[in-house]
Structure formats: C-alpha cells, structure tokens
C-alpha cells in the first residue's frame, strides 16, 4: 500500500485529502502540519509521495517559521527525500502561479484548492505514484 504524506494545516482540506486518497486510491495517508514530523517520516523512508500546502501558517523548522515552499526545498536538498514526488497544493491559482510555484519548489505537480474535480485529483496522484514505482 502506497503511503502519502499530506502536509496541510486546514482541517477541512486535510479530511478531504485523506478520504479521497484512502477510499478512492487505496493509499495509506498521514496528515501533519508539523515540519519536524514531515522530516521524520521522509527520513524513515516509508513515504511514496508528499502533498504540500504552500501556505502553512504555524510550521517551524529548527526554530524558524517555514512555508511549504521552504519545506519543498529542504526535501529536494536531502538525498533521503530528493526523489520523493511532491505535489504542491495551493489556493494561489492565478495565471502563472502553477509555473512559478513548480519552478520555485521543484515539485512534480500542482493542485489548485479547493479541489473541485475529485476524480482528476485521484487520477493525478495515482499516476505520480505509478511513475515513481
């Protein structure tokens, strides 16, 4: 069973991600908004994909406030997590945001929130998991 780590601080979005990925994609899902928990999970090697909220409100790493963009950069710099697919999830959905955010984070995918097309979301995640296998 594939393990998806969702880094999300909005409880409604967290529940939606969990339900869609567990019920429709058959994934094991862990949800957190804590940077240290994220880093511990990926260091343990049991994460197949990360969905990262760009605008984390209270996330801190090594005493500093961090955003989802910062955490994506940290994941890409660490050899233990550099190859894990990352999908950024954000309400920043203006023209050019997708390209800019993917370039900034080196993410593998982009999802605009709120998620309207649940089936397309699940297909995208399953496709990335299959590509990474």
**DSSP class of 93:** -
Q: Write down the architecture of domain 3-132 according to CATH.
A: 3-Layer(aba) Sandwich (3.40)
Per residue in 83-130, pLDDT tens? 999 999 998 777 888 899 999 999 999 999 999 999 999 999 999 999
- Output the CA angle 44-46-49, nearest 5 degrees: 120
For residue 53, the model assigns a pLDDT of 96
Q: How far apart are CA 115 and CA 112, in angstroms?
A: 6
Count other C-beta atoms under 10 Å from residue 5's C-beta: 22
Per residue in 52-83, pLDDT tens? 999 998 899 999 999 999 999 999 999 989 99
For residue 92, the model assigns a pLDDT of 74
Helix (H, G, I), strand (E, B) or coil at 2: coil
> What pTM was estimated for this model as a whole?
0.95
Q: How far apart are CA 128 and CA 13, in angstroms?
A: 20
């Amino acid at each position: 069973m594939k393990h998806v780590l969702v880094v999300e601080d909005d409880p409604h979005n967290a529940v939606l991600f969990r339900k869609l990925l567990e019920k429709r994609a058959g994934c094991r899902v862990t949800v957190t908004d804590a940077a240290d928990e994220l880093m511990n999970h990926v260091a343990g090697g049991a994460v197949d994909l990360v969905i990262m909220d760009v605008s984390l409100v209270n996330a801190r790493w090594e005493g500093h406030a961090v955003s989802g963009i910062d955490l994506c950069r940290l994941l890409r710099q660490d050899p233990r997590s550099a190859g894990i697919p990352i999908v950024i999830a954000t309400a920043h959905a203006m023209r050019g945001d997708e390209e800019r955010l993917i370039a900034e984070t080196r993410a593998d995918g982009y999802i605009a929130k709120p998620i309207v097309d649940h089936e397309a979301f699940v297909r995208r995640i399953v496709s990335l998991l299959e590509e990474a296998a």
